[in-house]
Amino acid sequence: MRKTPLVLLAVLTSVVTGCSGGGSSSSGSPSSDPAAPGSPAPATTVQRDCNAVYLGQFTPREKLAQLLTVGVSSAADAENVVRTEQVGGIFVGSFTDKAFLANGQVPQVQAAAKVPLMVTIDEEGGRVSRVKDLIGPAPSARVTAATMTPEEFYQATLIRARKLKDLGITVDFAPDVDVSSEPDDAVIGDRSFSDDPQVVTDYARAYIRAMNEVGLGSVMKHFPGHGNGSGDSHQGAVRTPPLADLIAADLAPYRDLADSGAAVMVGHLDVPGLTTPNVPASISPEVMALLRNGVGYGAAPFNGVIFTDDLSGMKAITARMDIADAVQAALTAGADNALWITTAAVSEVLDQLEQAVTSGKLPIAQVDASVLRLAKYKGISTQC
C-alpha cells in the first residue's frame, strides 16, 4: 500500500500559533476528545517567543544602537542619526536648536525610527531648565519643597508634563533625588529637595506619579548619591562618603521608590567601599549590581532602566577614557543605556560595541535584556 506523503499529513494537521504557551481549550464533548473514534486530529501548538519576535526586527548593530541616547543639535542632526543608526534615544540640551521643539519637528524624527524613540531632556526646574521659554519657569526643587505640599507639586507637575509631552518629549531626566544641604549654588545645592531623605522621597514620588499619569518617563538621579560628594563631576572626579554612610540617607529615595516606574541615572562618583579605585559608579559593575539586586542597602531588586550620566562632557569620566571605551565600560558593567551629548561618535561607538559582542566582552543576552527593558520603559508591548 502506498504511504500517505508527509506533506499531506502536514496539510491535514491544524497549526495554531500562540504566545506564552497558550493552547486550545476543550469543550469536554465526546467529539472533541482526541481519543474518541472519528474525532479530528489534535491541534499542534506552535509556540512563539514574543520577546524574540520584537528583538528579531533589529540587526545586531541596531540592538546595540537601542542602548544609546545622544545629544542632537537640530532636527536634521536627529533625523540623520536615527535613520542611519537607529539609536534608541536623543537628548535635547541647551545646545539644541529650540526650533526642533518649538516648530513641532519631533514627529519627522520619530518617523525615521523602527520603534518609538526616546526624546529626552533635563527639565528639573530652577537653574536646570531647557524649555522654560516654551513652557514657563518652575522653581528649584528646594524652593518647591519650601513652598508647596507634595500634592500641590504633583498637580503642578501634571501641567508641566502635559506641556512637555505636547512638545514631543517622552523622558525627563528628573527628579533629582540627591539628599543635600549644600549651598543653593553648589553643584547639587538647590536641585535637591532637602537634606531630609523622607522629604526628598515624598516630593520625588509626587513628581514620578504625575509623569506616570501623563505617560512620560522619569529618571531618578544621581545614584548612589551626589548630595554629599566632594566636588562637581563636570569638572573632575567626585568622591562620596563611604557606602556605609550613604545607606541611611542618600540611598533612601532609591530604596523607597524602587518600584515607582522611574528609571535611574548613575553618576560619575567614586564611592569608597563600593567602587574600584579610579572606576566611577557609571562604569562600575559593583554599583550596577547594588542597584539591580538591592542587596547591601535594603532595597527590592530594581527591574527598571539604568541610564548613565553624560559620558562625553564631564571630566570625571572624560579624563579617564574616550567615549567609545566609556560606553563599552558602562554597558558591560550593566547599564541599559549610555548617554552623551553629541552624535559625532555614534558610528565609532557602535563599531567598538560590535567588536565587544563578537569577543564576548559584552554578552548578547545582556544586550537583549536591555533592549527589552527599554521597550517596556518606552511603553512598547513585546507581547504578540
- pLDDT of residue 292 exceeding 50: yes
pLDDT of 120: 98
3-state DSSP assignment of residue 311: coil
**Cβ contact 131:101 at 8 Å:** yes
Cβ–Cβ under 8 Å, residues 316 and 280 = yes
User: Is the Cβ–Cβ distance between 312 and 305 less than 8 Å?
Assistant: no
pLDDT digits (tens, 9 = 90+) for 306-351: 999 999 988 889 999 999 999 999 999 999 999 999 999 999 999 9
Predicted structure pTM score: 0.87
Distance in angstroms (rounded) separating the CA atoms of residues 267 and 270: 9
Q: 114 with 57: CB under 8 angstroms?
A: yes
Instruction: Please tell me the distance from the alpha carbon of residue 5 to that of residue 137, in angstroms, as a whole number.
Output: 75
Q: Mean per-residue pLDDT for 280-298?
A: 97
- What pLDDT does 48 receive? 64
pLDDT band at 375 (very low <50, low <70, confident <90, very high): very high
Residue 3 has pLDDT above 60, yes or no: no
236: cell is: 573632575
Task: Clarify whether 226 is annotated catalytic.
Answer: no
pLDDT at 243 over 50: yes
Bigger pLDDT: 13 vs 343: 343
At the topology level, CATH places domain 50-378 in: TIM Barrel (3.20.20)
CATH 3.20.20.300 domain extents, the chain: 50-378
Q: Which of 77, 172, 309, 336 is catalytic?
A: 309
Is the pLDDT at 254 greater than 60? The verdict is yes
Indicate the pLDDT class of residue 371, thresholds 50, 70 and 90: very high
Higher-confidence residue: 368 or 8? 368
**In this structure, are residues 225 and 195 in contact, taking their beta carbons and an 8 Å threshold?**
no
Range 197-213 burial, b when 16+ CB lie within 10 A, else e:
bebbbbbbbbbbbbbee
Residue 37 has pLDDT above 90, yes or no: no
Q: Measured in Å, how far apart are the chain's first and last C-alpha atoms?
A: 44
Selected catalytic residue, list 196, 234, 322, 368: 234
Concerning whether 222 is annotated as a catalytic residue, the answer is no
Task: Tell me the average pLDDT of the chain.
Answer: 89
Instruction: Give dist(CA 236, CA 254) in Å, integer.
Output: 25
Mean pLDDT of 57-72: 98
From the CA atom positions of the chain, what is the Rg in Å?
A: 24
Q: What is the mean pLDDT of residues 265-276?
A: 97
Q: What one-character-per-residue DSSP string does 244-301 give?
A: HHHTTTTTHHHHHTTTSS-EEEEP-EE-TTTSPTT--GGG-HHHHHHHHH-TTTTPPP
Q: How confident is the model over 127-174, as pLDDT tens digits?
A: 999 999 999 999 999 999 999 999 999 999 999 999 999 999 999 999
For residue 48, what are the contacts with CB-CB under 8 A and spacing of at least 6?
A: 17, 18, 19, 384
- Residue predicted with more confidence, 264 or 35: 264
Q: Which long-range contacts (CB under 8 A, 24 or more apart) does 142-147 make?
A: 142/184, 142/189, 142/190, 142/191, 142/192, 142/193, 142/194, 143/190, 144/193, 144/203, 145/193, 145/194, 145/199, 145/203
Structure confidence at residue 383 (pLDDT): 72
For the stretch 195-221, pLDDT in tens is 999 999 999 999 999 999 999 999 999
